[in-house]
Amino acid sequence: MQQPAQDAPDVVVTSAPPPETGTADDAPVAHKYLAVRDHLVGLVARELRVGDAIPSERTLTQQFGLSRMTVRQAVDALVTEGVLVREQGRGTFVAPQRMDFEMRLTTFGEEMRRRGMEPTTAVLAAQTVAATPDVAAALEIEPRAKVHYLYRVRSADGEPMCIEQVWVPAALAPGLLADGPPPSMYDTLRALGLAPEWGEDTLSADEATDTESSLLGLGERRAVLRAARRTYSAAGATMYSRSCYRADRYTVWVPLSAPRPSLVPRHRTTDGAPDHVPAQHVDAPTPAVPTPTGDPATPTTTRRAPAAAAARGERA
């Protein structure tokens, strides 16, 4: 007997849309901005030199097929990073290389020569004066005690980089200025048996005064980095300095390390509760870190343990 034919199940066939291949024009705006930025960074690294103009916004807009706003965003980012510099009415140019401001007891001349630049110094004042209370406190001497004072502008390849004021106790180095201003304070101190061994810096961001702006050739850019430093030799506090650096030419670089455990652990009673905290074994008491406000803060007169500053390196 012939079986009746069964109805076949309904089959619904759907076709998935083909995967989107996308084009450069479909890329997210963030990717477009990075493409322009990377292109400009490559030009600066391989083709352009300091002071050269970068391609105009119109050229970049046509080259990448982007809006002028997106191109300007990439250029603005490089201006903020210090790679480029804008000059009103002229255009955008390759900026001079920024210096890494590393906490080391080396001289300005040594740092500039390490970068292939020629250092020069213009001495504005070199005299023996009475220490003001803040300078006396920093050098751990009596107010009005005699100190040698140097006021100078430090340049690299003929461009002003920083302004320095330096004080050295006259009792430690009576003849420091006998033959005129020393070309290198640290080299002279070493020759006198006062080799710098360690130091401490206080850094602050500030706006340049009219005098500082003129000496550094800042123009409308008034941002500066201030550093107050105490330098120690085996004889104690040997030099105090205040420096004013161009913020457009320096970047602070500070090495970091993981914290170390206490040298002496807490004692505990039989019930496990802390008993007392004995004094840690260090070479000398460590003062609180001074907080700069306005002018660089005057460091406390308590001497910091040399071991605590051993990892700070060298600069001047």
Confidence (pLDDT) at 160: 93
Give CATH for domain 26-94: 1.10.10.10
Confidence (pLDDT) at 100: 57
Map out the domains of the chain as residue ranges.
Answer: 26-94, 99-256+295-312
Confidence (pLDDT) at 219: 81
Structure tokens at 105: 């007891």
Could you tell me which CATH class the domain 99-256+295-312 is placed in? alpha beta
Confidence (pLDDT) at 181: 93
Number of H-type helices and E-type strands within the chain: 8, 10
Q: What angle do CA 186, 189, 195 make, to 5 degrees?
A: 85
Please give the model's pTM, rounded to 2 decimal places: 0.57
Torsion angle defined by CA atoms of residues 84, 89, 90 and 94, in that order, rounded to the nearest 10 degrees: -10
Pairwise CA distance, residues 122 & 89, whole Å:
32
Contacts of 52 (CB under 8 A, 6+ apart): 93, 94
pLDDT means over runs of 10, the chain (316 residues): 47 40 46 83 86 89 88 85 81 76 68 82 96 95 96 92 95 93 91 92 92 90 90 94 89 72 50 46 37 37 39 42
Confidence (pLDDT) at 21: 36
Pairwise CA distance, residues 231 & 316, whole Å:
9
